[in-house]
């Protein structure tokens, strides 16, 4: 008898029990469901919060803007009459001019200064860079009320620091909150002081993501710091700079707290509405005047559309100039 005939063959494995098979199928099903649907569960809290505090107020405001809405509870549908009223409302256009004026005086110098400071903090020869990076962000964490109080004292007519400095060059005391251009300058100075450091750190983070090999190769080719900035830093920084420009646009068009506190809580922005912004006018129409809440909602949607248009314009402008 051969050896192969005498060797015992292994018995076939017993089939799994029905309970084991069900558990395996259930495990595979749960694994597929976890891979397919768990990402939606992870991001669901954001959409829930956005839906409650973002989307619903927007839709509610849009619905209110189509009505002659009284905060007491009475309202009637009037269609787009609130929006057509905007075109003939001199206070709305005054607030629009004030908003764009302070936006230009704050955003443009702020971004240029932030770009310069970020480029300076990115230099290797600078010592104590961590200290300067922390110090430049301090104005942003200071309470805006404290900032308004300090700058209000600095821009006082009789005993303010700025009028005292101007007196050395023969300039008469300026009534900073009594005229349009002077109030724009004072409020823009406050905004620039508070937000320049914030934008600087964002631009600095974008600069640090640029590969150092590019600068080393440019230096070998004989490119100086100025040419490296224009030929390497700015083109590579374009996505970050566009992000900062859009953020600054949104913040500038929604300017509210600084001019309100600068005017000591006067919602009309001075005796002649010299520095009333669109956000302040929206608050006046929608909250202070209870019988014009529908018109205030229309102003809010007008601000939203203006922000979209201006942000798109800035996006296209920056993308075109950075090529």
Is residue 1 pLDDT above 50, yes or no?
no
Segment 130-157 mean pLDDT: 85
What is the C-alpha to C-alpha distance for residues 263 and 152, in angstroms, rounded to an integer? 9
What is the C-alpha to C-alpha distance for residues 31 and 128, in angstroms, rounded to an integer? 51
Task: State what percent of residues in the chain have pLDDT above 90.
Answer: 24
Highest mean pLDDT among 14-23, 68-77, 246-255: 246-255
Q: Tens digit of pLDDT for each residue in 173-217?
A: 888 888 889 899 999 999 999 899 899 999 998 988 888 888 888
Indicate the pairing of strand 75-77 with strand 67-69.
antiparallel
pTM of the model: 0.80
Segment 239-252 mean pLDDT: 88
Query: Residue 257 belongs to what H/E stretch?
Result: helix 257-262
Per-residue pLDDT at 318: 75
Per-residue pLDDT at 178: 82
Query: What dihedral do alpha carbons 85, 306, 193, 163 form, nearest 10°?
Result: -40
What is the C-alpha to C-alpha distance for residues 49 and 40, in angstroms, rounded to an integer? 14
pLDDT-derived band at 103 (thresholds 50, 70, 90) equals very high
Per-residue pLDDT at 97: 94
Q: What does the radius of gyration of the chain's CA atoms come to, in whole angstroms?
A: 30
Q: Is 251 helix (H, G, I), strand (E, B) or coil?
A: helix
Is residue 143 pLDDT above 90, yes or no?
no
Alpha helix (H) residue ranges in 51-89: 56-65, 81-86
Per-residue pLDDT at 215: 82
Highest mean pLDDT among 32-46, 65-79, 293-307: 293-307
Q: What is the mean pLDDT of the chain?
A: 83
């Amino acid at each position: 008898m051969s050896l192969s005939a005498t060797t015992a063959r292994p018995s076939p494995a017993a089939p799994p029990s029905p309970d084991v098979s069900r558990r395996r199928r259930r495990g595979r099903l749960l694994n597929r469901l976890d891979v397919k649907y768990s990402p939606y569960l992870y991001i669901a809290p954001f959409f829930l919060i956005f839906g409650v505090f973002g989307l619903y107020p927007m839709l509610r405001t849009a619905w209110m803007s189509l009505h002659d809405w009284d905060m007491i509870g009475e309202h009637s549908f009037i269609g787009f009459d609130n929006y057509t009223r905007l075109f003939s409302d001199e206070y709305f256009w005054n607030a629009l001019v004030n908003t764009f004026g302070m936006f230009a005086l704050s955003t443009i110098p702020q971004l240029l200064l932030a770009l310069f400071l970020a480029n300076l903090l990115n230099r290797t020869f600078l010592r104590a860079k961590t200290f300067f990076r922390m110090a430049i962000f301090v104005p942003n964490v200071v309470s805006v009320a404290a900032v308004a109080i300090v700058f209000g004292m600095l821009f006082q007519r009789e005993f303010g620091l700025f009028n005292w400095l101007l007196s050395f060059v023969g300039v008469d005391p300026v009534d900073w909150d009594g005229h349009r251009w002077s109030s724009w300058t004072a409020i823009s100075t406050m905004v620039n002081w508070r937000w320049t450091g914030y934008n600087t750190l964002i631009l600095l983070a974008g600069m640090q993501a640029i590969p150092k090999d590019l600068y080393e190769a440019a230096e070998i080719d004989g490119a100086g710091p100025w040419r490296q900035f224009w030929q390497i830093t700015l083109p590579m920084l374009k996505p970050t700079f566009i992000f900062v420009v859009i953020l600054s646009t949104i913040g500038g068009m929604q300017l509210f707290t600084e001019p309100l506190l600068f005017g000591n809580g006067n919602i009309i922005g001075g005796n002649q509405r010299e520095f009333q912004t669109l956000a302040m006018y929206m608050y006046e129409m929608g909250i202070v005047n209870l019988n014009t809440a529908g018109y205030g909602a229309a102003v809010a949607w007008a601000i939203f559309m203006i922000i979209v248009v201006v942000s798109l314009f800035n996006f296209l402008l920056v993308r075109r100039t950075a090529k």
